[in-house]
């Protein structure tokens, strides 16, 4: 292990903003994934100049630097597998400008998504990518993972909302990428290259984001299905019908059982449910969209269909989906909910088959898997519920993941819809992108020749995710 000169770092950020206590290093060694590895230090910069100084020092001394927002990434993106400095960006949390005339805002990377939306709400606008983790996710983390959320089906993912940014490169140089205008055809779109780069190409210190008007009307509906196949086909049909839902979410039987068990919601334990929503400025237009979606649900044997404009009713309909992630952890006292093959995207016409395939694979490998997600955007989530103390369960999980991703590739889907690659999905990612891995590696070398920025990720990600890094769990037998 290289040594870090703490005096240099203390001179840059002050004594209180560097952590080397073992308990802090332990906490910063994992995110919401299954992985863990210890960093050598945690450093918390307050401004761009400090980030530049830290990177200059790290680059000269070949010390890895792992940018980090709130550490809610599900795939091990912030896990420091080669040690180094975890750069906690949460102190850079100012909203710098809300420009209503030019329809953009500028923020520092540590701004929490919900805080930004709270600030925008008073002007009748919102920042739409908004993942389910918006209460904790930072804008820097969202950009670096290309996060999306329930409303991305209508309003797009993070990539669609990022107009420009300021980035500190590995050598400490500060560059301005992109623009503040809606369109740009001035050469390579380098700001878009940063989106989804998982902290491997530079440290984002400022972002310029677009926003959209808050709709006057929102109407949310729910439909139950006795078969996953019917629910999956409904998704495809809605998306091909010319309707533009502002939300289209799937929850399967495992998900429904989990929320019933933990929150006593009393939901009917059917094979699947679809939550759909339409929004807009004109009530008749929203009615039209909701009626069309309702009719398509009925065509596919959807039942118990109801919908409401009332905000309390909408919150009730959405509650189970909103609280699903923690609920899955309590599905069975002996099973932990793990993010392994946690999200993928497949063409709409393959949604039903994908959901069925997840269950079939889980049954065959004696683990529990759930199928849910922002299916209107083609996104399918899974969680693997297993006894993480048992070696054989890890082996089963690994086989299941391999089969899930074989299926995803066979239908021209992609390894990650929104959660990113990190460590958990490295193997599948490398197979999917095998003919462009050299391009990815060349970009990385050009921007970070000393390989200090989040090394061991994206093109360098280790393929054997179980043994390459320590797991957060102790595995007994
Ligand atoms: C309960 C739960 C629900 C979730 N739901 C969703 C969802 O609906 N949609 C979705 O997309 N994701 C979801 N996620 C995953 C995750 O929350 C998002 O990807 C989120 O955007 C990560 O933000 P963060 O601040 O925690 O980033 P982190 O996890 O800290 O970092 C993510 C990546 O960004 C990099 N990074 C962070 N800041 C910077 C910076 N300033 N410059 C350069 N690189 C940086 C890191 O190196 C890392 O590679 C969920 C997670 C949880 C735990």
- The C-alpha atoms of residue 48 and residue 390 are separated, in whole angstroms, by 46
74 CB less than 6 Å from ligand 1? yes
- Tell me what the mean pLDDT of segment 160-182 comes to: 97
E strand map for 374-414: 379-386
Q: Which residues 6+ apart lie within 8 Å of 210 measured at CB?
A: 103, 104, 161, 163, 182
Ligand 1 centre and the CA of 141: distance in Å?
Answer: 4
pLDDT of 107 higher than 60: yes
- Rounded to whole angstroms, what are the CA distances from 42 to 11, 111, 139, 170, 366? 14, 19, 20, 17, 40
Structure tokens at 64: 């890895």
- The C-alpha atoms of residue 232 and residue 236 are separated, in whole angstroms, by 7
Q: Across the strands, what pairs with 307?
A: 221
- Tell me what the mean pLDDT of segment 383-400 comes to: 92
344 CB less than 6 Å from ligand 1? no
68 CB less than 6 Å from ligand 1? yes
Element (H, E) at 423: none
- The C-alpha atoms of residue 114 and residue 306 are separated, in whole angstroms, by 29
Q: Is 86 helix (H, G, I), strand (E, B) or coil?
A: strand
Q: Which of 52, 136, 145, 383 to mutate to test the pocket of ligand 1 (most atoms within 8 A of CB)?
A: 145
Closest atom of ligand 1 to CA, residue 142: 21
Structure tokens at 61: 């001394």
Ligand 1 centre and the CA of 365: distance in Å?
Answer: 30
- Quickly tell me which residue has 């070696």 as its tokens: 391
For residues 219, 232, 228 and 306, what is the CA-based torsion angle, rounded to 10 degrees?
20
Structure tokens at 401: 């993941």
Structure tokens at 121: 């709400």
- The C-alpha atoms of residue 68 and residue 281 are separated, in whole angstroms, by 38
Phi-psi bin for 94: left (phi > 0), alpha (psi -120 to 50), beta?
beta
Mean predicted lDDT score pLDDT of the chain: 94
What is the reported pLDDT for 329?
Answer: 87
- The C-alpha atoms of residue 14 and residue 110 are separated, in whole angstroms, by 19
Phi-psi bin for 372: left (phi > 0), alpha (psi -120 to 50), beta?
beta
pLDDT, tens digit, 9 for 90 and up, residues 423-474:
999 999 999 999 999 999 999 999 999 999 999 999 897 877 665 567 888 8
CB 364 within 8 A of CB 333: no
- Quickly tell me which residue has 């923690």 as its tokens: 326
Which is nearest to 165 in space by CA: 196, 200, 204, 203?
204
Closest atom of ligand 1 to CA, residue 417: 11
- Tell me what the mean pLDDT of segment 219-232 comes to: 96
Q: Which of 39, 46, 68 to mutate to test the pocket of ligand 1 (most atoms within 8 A of CB)?
A: 68
pLDDT of 298 higher than 90: yes
- The C-alpha atoms of residue 37 and residue 78 are separated, in whole angstroms, by 10
CB 121 within 8 A of CB 136: no
CB 143 within 8 A of CB 189: no
- In 220-367, where does DSSP find H-type helix? 228-240, 253-263, 283-299, 311-322, 324-329, 351-364
Which is nearest to 251 in space by CA: 403, 405, 429, 132?
132
For residue 14, name the pLDDT band (cuts at 50, 70, 90): very high
Q: Is 48 helix (H, G, I), strand (E, B) or coil?
A: helix
CB 341 within 8 A of CB 405: yes
CB 263 within 8 A of CB 210: no
Percentage of residues of the chain with pLDDT beyond 70: 99
Q: Which residues 6+ apart lie within 8 Å of 354 measured at CB?
A: 232, 344, 346, 371, 380, 407, 408, 411, 413
Q: Which residues 6+ apart lie within 8 Å of 252 measured at CB?
A: 228, 271, 272, 355, 359, 370, 371, 372
- The C-alpha atoms of residue 147 and residue 139 are separated, in whole angstroms, by 9
Percentage of residues of the chain with pLDDT beyond 90: 87
pLDDT, tens digit, 9 for 90 and up, residues 74-95:
999 999 999 999 999 999 999 9
pLDDT of 267 higher than 70: yes
pLDDT, tens digit, 9 for 90 and up, residues 200-213:
999 999 999 999 99
92 CB less than 6 Å from ligand 1? no
pLDDT of 2 higher than 80: no
93 CB less than 6 Å from ligand 1? no
pTM summary value: 0.96
- Tell me what the mean pLDDT of segment 355-382 comes to: 93
Which is nearest to 200 in space by CA: 459, 431, 1, 27?
459
């Amino acid at each position: 292990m290289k040594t870090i000169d703490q005096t240099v770092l203390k001179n840059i950020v002050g004594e209180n903003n560097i952590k080397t206590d073992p308990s802090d290093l332990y906490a910063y060694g994992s995110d919401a994934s299954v992985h863990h590895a210890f960093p050598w230090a945690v450093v918390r910069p307050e401004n761009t100049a400090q980030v530049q100084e830290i990177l200059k020092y790290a680059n000269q001394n070949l010390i890895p630097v792992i940018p980090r927002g709130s550490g809610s990434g599900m795939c091990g993106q912030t896990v420091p597998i080669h040690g180094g400095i975890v750069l906690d960006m949460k102190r850079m949390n100012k909203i710098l400008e809300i420009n209503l005339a030019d329809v953009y805002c500028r923020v520092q990377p540590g701004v929490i998504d919900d805080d930004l939306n709270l600030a925008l709400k008073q002007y009748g606008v919102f920042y739409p990518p908004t993942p389910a983790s918006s209460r904790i996710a930072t804008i820097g983390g969202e950009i670096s993972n290309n996060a999306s959320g329930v409303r991305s089906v209508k309003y797009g993912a993070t990539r669609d909302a990022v107009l420009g940014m300021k980035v500190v490169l590995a050598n400490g140089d500060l560059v301005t990428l992109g623009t503040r205008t809606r369109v740009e055809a001035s050469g390579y779109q380098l700001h878009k290259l940063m989106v989804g780069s998982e902290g491997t190409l530079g440290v984002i210190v400022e972002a310029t984001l677009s926003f959209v008007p808050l709709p006057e009307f929102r109407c949310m509906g729910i439909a139950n299905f006795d078969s996953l196949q019917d629910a999956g086909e409904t998704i495809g049909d809605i998306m091909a019908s010319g309707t533009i839902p502002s939300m289209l979410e799937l929850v399967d039987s495992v998900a429904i059982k989990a929320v019933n068990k933990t929150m006593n919601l009393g939901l009917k334990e059917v094979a699947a449910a679809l939550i759909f929503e339409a929004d807009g400025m004109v009530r008749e237009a929203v009615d039209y969209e909701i009626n069309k979606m309702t009719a398509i649900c009925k065509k596919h044997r959807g039942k118990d269909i109801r919908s409401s404009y009332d905000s309390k009713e909408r919150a009730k309909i959405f509650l189970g989906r909103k609280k699903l992630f923690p609920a899955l952890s309590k599905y069975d006292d002996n099973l932990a909910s793990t993010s392994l093959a946690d999200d993928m995207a497949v063409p709409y016409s393959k949604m039903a088959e994908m959901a069925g395939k997840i269950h079939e694979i889980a049954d065959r490998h004696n683990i529990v898997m759930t199928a849910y997600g922002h299916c209107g955007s083609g996104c399918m989530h899974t969680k693997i519920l297993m006894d993480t103390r048992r070696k054989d369960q890890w082996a089963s999980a690994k086989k299941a993941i391999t089969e899930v991703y074989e299926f995803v590739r066979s239908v021209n889907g992609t390894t990650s819809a929104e959660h990113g690659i990190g460590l958990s999905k490295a193997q599948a990612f490398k197979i999917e992108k095998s003919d462009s891995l050299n391009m990815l590696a060349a970009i990385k070398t050009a921007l970070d020749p000393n390989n200090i920025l989040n090394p061991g990720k994206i093109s360098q990600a280790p393929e054997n995710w179980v043994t390459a890094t320590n797991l957060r769990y102790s595995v007994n037998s």
